[in-house]
Amino acid sequence: YSTARSTRGDPAARPLFLREPTQGGRASGGGGATRRGGQRRRNNGKSLVDVAIQKQQQRQVPPAEPAAYAPEATDASLVPKFCPYCGGATQPNFRFCQFCGAAQAARHGGAQP
């Protein structure tokens, strides 16, 4: 590193990781978690693990009112729309998967032999 040319010359031409941090926009003397070079953490002093756990808990909070289930679903809505073997899209009248050739389960409304 001592002979690298990127440490010499115009500072604006240096790679970002070799530039000195700019002092503009930061208030001096404000406490908080600091890192090497005087950089402050963006998460108000919390570790990234704490932030991830907090976000995960927020996602797992159940909604106040669960969605109503429609028990009047017909057999036509229960027809699988994807092949259980390869995941390819199927239609109710298909007897075989057009992608992998696997026989599809017997369906109501489809042509029976």
59 touches 71 (CB < 8 A): no
In a domain, 13, yes or no: no
**pLDDT (tens digit, 9 = 90+) per residue, 27-83?**
444 444 555 555 555 657 788 888 888 888 888 766 666 555 555 555 556 666 888
Maximum average pLDDT range among 9-13, 27-31, 37-41, 99-103: 99-103
In a domain, 113, yes or no: yes
The domain tally of the chain equals: 1
In a domain, 56, yes or no: no
Q: Per DSSP, what are the bridge partners of residue 96? A: 103
Domain range enclosing 110: 79-113
109 touches 80 (CB < 8 A): no
Q: Please tell me the pTM assigned to this model.
A: 0.27
In a domain, 59, yes or no: no
